[in-house]
A and B are shown apart, each in its own frame.
Chain A
Amino acid sequence: MKMDGGQALIRALELEGVDVLFGLPGGAILPVYDPIIDSSIRHILVRHEQGAGHMAEGYAHATGRPGVAMVTSGPGATNIVTPLCDAHLDSVPMVVITGQVPYAAIGTDAFQECDTTGITQSVTKHNFLVSDAQDIPRTIKEAFHIATTGRPGPVLVDIPKDIVDPDSPRSTLEWTDDVEMDLPGYSPQADVDPVAIAAAADLIRAAERPVLYVGGGILKARAAEALKELAELTGIHVVTTLMARGAFPDSHDLCLGMPGMHGNFTAVTAMQESDLLIALGARFDDRITGRLDGFAQAAKVIHVDIDAAELGKVCRPDVAILGDCRVAIEALVADLASNGVGGADRGAWRSRVSGWQERFPLSYEQAQAGDALKPQMVIERLRDATPDDTIVTSGVGQHQMWASQYWSFEYPYTWINSGGLGTMGFSIPAAIGAKAGCPDKMVWAVDGDGCFQMTAQELVTATVEKIPIKVALLNNSYLGMVRQWQEMFYDERYSEVSLSKDVPDYKGWAESMGCVAMRVDSPEEVDAAIAKANEVDDRPVVIDFRVAAAEKVYPMVPPGASNSDLVVPPSQQDQQR
């Protein structure tokens, strides 16, 4: 069957099961926007291309299916570079289609031309510049395959205008339903080496102070249930990194919560004092290890990862297991179930862990009468007033850490944030993407005022497209995390961190974008505002919570310090460690 490249592109996306496409048209991608009118795919028109990228990420995080965005050439493409890099660092499956100037014009500095594949090479898992219309169906198939298999990641497909424009003779192609992929250099390995599994099981049986160190890879591998089985079979405690919150229920007896720079004392210290770290889909990020030569010095390491380059990159494992996390965990469970979980005495370890939990819970000073609202308290109230399966997204900074610390995550895929890249402004578009993918779930974006001002325009998208997300804006009128660093490490010399208390008027701004908006100044107003927001289901809601400006995130491992030098909140500083 003859068709033009634009039709073939949309048809190929439909065949991949794409139901939502986030994008914004422009000159070079115009011909592909015409067949969208007749397609079953829902297109969500964003207000800035960065929004399209983060929406695709939010969609992918929430649904497990690849997020798809489509933008034009030049500035459209450069505006989506940040989401690509974000998805690359957090291993988010995403396919981005960019328009390009006609093939013959490439290299001439044509209008809205940029070297998109060159620019995005280091922030994508792979990218393609398609030169012939006939290659479109195969390239789309390859792009989705690469984005979703092995270690997932973003793939970009750059499409010159002349191969999709029906007025161009170069756009005609012969459509066939079966196209073969041609990827001789790509063969991710999911199966695991049974010898390594047996060696890992032996280490687990012998360990007296083991910790399951669980990263975002566990969610990508859909391995939360297998993890629960492994933890319960062995009775080993679990820490869930910022990228893995929700992979193991926070309410579970074996859950120690989040480790890392702002992890809780018990999670950080249990890793630090462990004799066996079982790293599952985690990559020993600097925010987890603290100063590397002071990290978990007595621990042997089992490292499971689907990316061979992660094995030995930061930390030399005693047992390296290359492959899919779920396959590896199931193999470990099978070995431990049939050969026994071992007789190592972990009684002393368990009492040390519970001692830490008693002495060093997450805590903050409650507001006294007349004090400003505490941001942690807002998170707690929000947590208690929403269903357990509520999806929470966040931006980057203090509010992100408080959300991760004080929320109780009971289900996988309910926490969506920007971990590796630390992209301010992530939460609102990510929430829109998550809600578009999971319309039946309640979606709350926890945001800061610095972040909000970076991507708030997408609330217009949410209103117009009827995607009723809710935003809890923790407004301290500061770039709070930077302020905290300046207070703690730059002698309280505050440089360029103060945002205005008076402008913008967030309530007025949100209302102008079609949202229901409220402003909350005192603790007594919090519950009523949240209850009101939860009742709105036909438009977005923004609550401007005016919170205490000087509040700091605790605990904290100072930059460059060892995890053993974790700084606990002032109220715990006299406690015996």
Chain B
Amino acid sequence: MNEQRGAGSTSQHHVPDYRYHTLVVTVENKSGVLARLAALFSRRGFNIESLAVAPTDDERFSRVTVVVDLESAPLEQIIKQLDKLVNVVNIRELHPGHAVERELMIVTVAAGPDRRDELVEQLDRAGGKVLSVGADAMMLSLVGPPPRVDEFEELLGQYGIIELQRTGRVALANLDEDD
């Protein structure tokens, strides 16, 4: 799975990763809606790669960015079944390569004083930030396109990851592109 997720990460341009599709689902901001989405995915055997939920600028609605695994079900079935949920207002498919996708990672890495300079240099190059420094560890954050976050996560392996949390991706369609 990680192998797939990392595909294309060496390229400057985002190489479409057709196994995973990103859906932006606008739902009514009501209790139980997330459970309905989760129950649907589970009941129909659709696998989710990541899921991020937050309110929108309109308090009646929330926005769910869900990355679905197309090996588990055809995209068309996933969209149509989602659309049947009464609380789902709108579904937008973000075509691979035609959207801006970001993910936040925060991570605690084992790094004594002797390795910190080197780590910070790598972090700067990736565009990340130091959040906190302890005796033998540092806490870092990185926001970026998911493949770049993957790449950085892999690089941190050589230091020793103590704890790591990623948000799952959020996405918007590119400007000036017909959806």
| Residue ranges of A at the interface with B (Cβ–Cβ < 8 Å) | 117-118, 121-122, 125-126, 129, 146, 183-186, 307-309, 311-313
Task: Indicate which residue in A309, A311, A312 contacts B84 across the interface (CB closer than 8 Å).
Answer: A309
Chain B residues, Cβ within 8 Å of A125: 86
Task: Indicate which residue in A121, A183, A308 contacts B80 across the interface (CB closer than 8 Å).
Answer: A308
Assembled-state Cα–Cα distance A122/B43 (Å): 8
Assembled-state Cα–Cα distance A312/B77 (Å): 8
Chain B interface residue bracket vs A: 20 to 34
Q: A118-B35, A129-B32 are in contact. Are A309 and B77 (CB under 8 A)?
A: yes
Assembled-state Cα–Cα distance A125/B90 (Å): 18
Chain B residues, Cβ within 8 Å of A312: 74, 76-77
| Residue ranges of B at the interface with A (Cβ–Cβ < 8 Å) | 27-28, 31-32, 35-36, 39-40, 43, 60, 74, 76-77, 80-81, 83-90
Q: A309-B80, A312-B77 are in contact. Are A122 and B28 (CB under 8 A)?
A: no
Determine how close the nearest CB of chain A comes to the CB of B24; give it in whole angstroms: 14
**Can you give 15 A-B contacts (C-beta < 8 A)?**
A117-B32, A118-B35, A121-B32, A121-B36, A121-B39, A122-B40, A126-B86, A129-B31, A184-B28, A185-B90, A308-B83, A308-B84, A309-B77, A311-B80, A312-B76
Residue contact A185 to B86, C-beta cutoff 8 Å = yes
Chain B residues, Cβ within 8 Å of A307: 84
Assembled-state Cα–Cα distance A308/B40 (Å): 16
Determine how close the nearest CB of chain B comes to the CB of A94; give it in whole angstroms: 16
Chain B residues, Cβ within 8 Å of A146: 86
Q: Which residue of B lies closest to A131 (CB)?
A: B31
Chain B residues, Cβ within 8 Å of A117: 32
Q: A146-B86, A184-B28, A186-B86 are in contact. Are A122 and B39 (CB under 8 A)?
A: yes
Chain B residues, Cβ within 8 Å of A313: 77
Q: Known pairs A184-B89, A185-B27. 14 more at Cβ < 8 A?
A: A118-B35, A121-B32, A121-B39, A125-B86, A126-B86, A184-B60, A185-B28, A185-B85, A308-B83, A309-B80, A309-B81, A309-B83, A311-B80, A312-B77
Task: Indicate which residue in A126, A185, A308, A309 contacts B89 across the interface (CB closer than 8 Å).
Answer: A185
CB-based closest 5 A-B pairs: A309-B80, A185-B89, A126-B86, A186-B86, A308-B80
Determine how close the nearest CB of chain B comes to the CB of A119; give it in whole angstroms: 11
Chain A residues, Cβ within 8 Å of B89: 184-185
Assembled-state Cα–Cα distance A121/B35 (Å): 9
Q: A309-B77, A313-B77 are in contact. Are A185 and B88 (CB under 8 A)?
A: yes
Assembled-state Cα–Cα distance A485/B36 (Å): 37
Assembled-state Cα–Cα distance A311/B76 (Å): 10
Q: Which residue of A lies closest to B43 (CB)?
A: A122
Assembled-state Cα–Cα distance A122/B35 (Å): 11
Assembled-state Cα–Cα distance A122/B37 (Å): 11
Chain A residues, Cβ within 8 Å of B84: 307-309
Determine how close the nearest CB of chain B comes to the CB of A123; give it in whole angstroms: 10
Assembled-state Cα–Cα distance A183/B87 (Å): 8
Chain A residues, Cβ within 8 Å of B90: 185
Determine how close the nearest CB of chain B comes to the CB of A323; give it in whole angstroms: 15
Determine how close the nearest CB of chain B comes to the CB of A375; give it in whole angstroms: 37
Chain B residues, Cβ within 8 Å of A118: 32, 35
Determine how close the nearest CB of chain B comes to the CB of A77; give it in whole angstroms: 16
Determine how close the nearest CB of chain B comes to the CB of A307; give it in whole angstroms: 7
Chain A residues, Cβ within 8 Å of B31: 129
Determine how close the nearest CB of chain A comes to the CB of B152; give it in whole angstroms: 38
Assembled-state Cα–Cα distance A242/B49 (Å): 40
Determine how close the nearest CB of chain A comes to the CB of B35; give it in whole angstroms: 7
Chain A residues, Cβ within 8 Å of B36: 121
Assembled-state Cα–Cα distance A312/B88 (Å): 21
Assembled-state Cα–Cα distance A146/B84 (Å): 11
